[in-house]
A and B are shown apart, each in its own frame.
Chain A
Amino acid sequence: MNWRGGLELIRRSLFGWMAGRGFFWSLALGWMMPSLVYLFVWLRVSSENGISIFSRDDFILYYLCLILVNQFTYPVSNWTVGDVIRSGNFSAWLLRPLPPIFEAIASDIAMKMVTMPFALAVVLGLALILRPTTTITWFSFSTFLLALLLAQALRFLLAYALALLALWAARADALLMLNDTLLFLLAGQVAPILLLPPALKSAAQMLPYRYMLGFPLELLLGKLSYSQIWQGFAWQIGWLSLVWFAHRLIWQRGISHYSAVGG
């Protein structure tokens, strides 16, 4: 594996993202807007005592951390890889002695390096204004970190696999939009999954979206019992494995089907 090539790709992508940082900060602001809106909606709806197992401070912490988790796990390859395939520039990636996924990973990491400081500054500013009080244990923080890394891998791989469908279908981006919508509804953005009606909650617990955003936050807030934690990790790892195999399958079938644009 050519790690130096991969690192150099990240460096190059970082320079590229830095060149347009104003644009990407605006983009990051756009990504955090829904979370901010729902934060203030839930603060308004919940009284001083909160709703169910979520106190007012829990809502603040949940949505402020959601902004960061969303930023950390947002897969930029969602859109760029499909565009590269459709434009035919994917050929340039294929001609290099480096798996094309490196390009997507490099772009993803570089985007996070550019947008995270901005998101962090916004979240810290809001935390200073809203002043939530909470007790985060080492156990909840370490399980959160583990779930966050798995969430990042799961969200990236699913987006990458869906983007690779462009190897077959010209407009596979419609699936990406559907994926984003489901993520918005069932990942814990509109409301924490634990507060959803039972049927929707069960569905969300079985689908992959919760494990891309909501699950790490539930761990951080210490809202899950031990059995729920292990079940959650089992679902997360199960989905990650499934998406990994799906991605391999799509790649192998797609690449043999791929006909470069033009000529």
Chain B
Amino acid sequence: MAAQILVKDLQKNYRVPEREEGLRATIRTLFRRRYREVTAVNDINFTIQPGEVVGFIGPNGAGKTTTLKILSGLLYPTAGEVCVAGFIPWQRETEFLRCISMVMTNKNQLNWENTAMDSFRVLAEIYRVPPRQFQETLAELTALLDMTELLPQMVRNLSLGQRMKCELVAALLHCPQILFLDEPTLGLDISMQLNLRHFLAEYNQRHGATVIITSHYMADVTALCSRVILIDKGQLLYDGDLNQLATRIAPFKLVKVTTGLEDDMTQRSTLLASLAPIATVLGENGRQLTLRVPKEKAAQAITCLLTQLPVIDISVEDPPIEAVIDQVYRQGISP
């Protein structure tokens, strides 16, 4: 199958003005400005197949949004090749713009002085959505997002979450093949985040749309994306399955044990000392104990704990994905 998105040796440099602090430096910039070249994206390569949902993650300033903007045609790259749905994005051909959509938290398609419905009608005409299809898509989207009552309301009177629902409808009215989502759940409460994730998963299932999502909320990524592209300082660090990333970066399990009242602290210390070669104590809080154990040794450690301690509760968990990603951001990833 031909790739829906192809990115080859992509590079984007910004020229940013800079100056030293103070009055003298400020005056000097009136006559001579100094610029610094910043590499936002550096030699990135990847392909995305139709219908894939890909999480694009990285710390602040990693180059995620810049890449998304290049893919959507908002920015010209400094070097490299990009092909999205068979088009070169920055040529911004009408047919290309009709098959993509981008949702950014701080930019909006809605007119604040009008009702949401008015904005939707304008977009339907701009995207040449036939009236019947418009009605059907609108009905489907408003039902999925449970927002029919928002249609006659003025956009300026909507809450952030309500507005984000409307933005999503605005972005999807023309049923784009490719959807770019930049921090779609930023600033939303927990239940709204869950709603949006559910909605996006449903939309992807129904329409087979390709979705690229950037988010600092790992819950967005784990709920929606089987594949993640991890970048930092403009460079691609990882491209693949999210679970494999966790296995590769953090090949251990977290074992949480709660012991009964009869727990003998001396006996516990002895046991922990004997487990020291395979288990690291991460925390001890009264009768609760958290151990980090290599995956292949987990069974052995659990057996020891169950046989030698008066265990009343035990759980084995993967390390939180946030911790894994944080480790990648701080320590990088070995090839």
Contact = CB atoms under 8 A, between A and B. Distances in A.
Contacts of B121: 8, 12
A98 B104 CA distance: 19
Residues of A contacting B: mostly:
helix
Contact of B113 (A8, A11, A19, A258): A19
A92 B98 CA distance: 13
B107 A88 contact: yes
Interface stretch (B65-73, B265-273, B274-282): B65-73
Interface string B113-125: 1100011011101
A-B complex: 9 closest residue pairs judged by Cβ atoms: A263-B65, A16-B113, A8-B125, A97-B97, A5-B126, A97-B94, A12-B122, A5-B125, A19-B113
Contact of A263 (B64, B76, B114, B123): B64
Interface centre among A91, A92, A95, A96 (most CB of B within 10 A): A95
A231 interface: no
Contacts of A256: 76
B14 A88 contact: no
A2 B128 contact: yes
Nearest to B112: A16
B113 A260 contact: no
A96 B126 contact: yes
Contacts of B122: 5, 8-9, 11-12
B75 interface: yes
B109 interface: yes
A202 interface: no
A15 B126 contact: no
Contacts of A16: 111-114
Interface in B74-118: 74-76, 92, 94-95, 97-98, 100-102, 104, 106-109, 111-114, 118
A5 B126 CA distance: 4
B232 interface: no
A181 interface: no
Given A89-B108, A94-B74, A96-B109, 18 more contacts: A5-B126, A5-B127, A12-B119, A16-B114, A17-B113, A88-B106, A89-B107, A91-B74, A91-B107, A94-B73, A95-B97, A95-B101, A96-B97, A96-B126, A96-B127, A97-B94, A97-B97, A263-B65
Contacts of A13: 111
A92 B108 contact: yes
Contacts of B125: 2, 4-5, 7-8
A228 interface: no
A20 interface: yes
Interface of A: 2, 4-5, 7-9, 11-13, 15-17, 19-20, 88-89, 91-92, 94-98, 256, 258-260, 262-263
A110 B65 CA distance: 34
B214 to A, nearest CB: 9
Given A91-B74, A259-B75, A12 B108 contact: no
A260 B69 contact: yes
B182 interface: yes
A94 B107 CA distance: 12
Given A91-B104, A97-B97, A19 B114 contact: yes
Interface of B: 14, 64-66, 69, 72-76, 92, 94-95, 97-98, 100-102, 104, 106-109, 111-114, 118-119, 121-123, 125-128, 154, 182
A13 B118 CA distance: 10
Interface centre among A13, A91, A97 (most CB of B within 10 A): A97
B72 A262 contact: no
A258 B125 CA distance: 27
Nearest to B17: A170
B77 to A, nearest CB: 11
A15 B155 CA distance: 13
Nearest to B14: A259
Nearest to B15: A259
A9 B113 contact: no
Contact of B102 (A8, A11, A12, A95): A95
A15 B101 contact: no
B107 A92 contact: yes
Interface centre among A4, A9, A13, A262 (most CB of B within 10 A): A262
Contacts of B64: 263
A44 B303 CA distance: 105
A15 B118 contact: yes
A71 B114 CA distance: 24
B129 to A, nearest CB: 10
B92 A94 contact: yes
A262 B64 CA distance: 11
Nearest to B90: A256
Nearest to B109: A92
B107 A97 contact: no
Contacts of A260: 69, 74-75
Nearest to B125: A8
A12 B111 contact: yes
Nearest to A19: B113
Nearest to A102: B126
Contact of B72 (A19, A20, A95): A95
A5 to B, nearest CB: 4
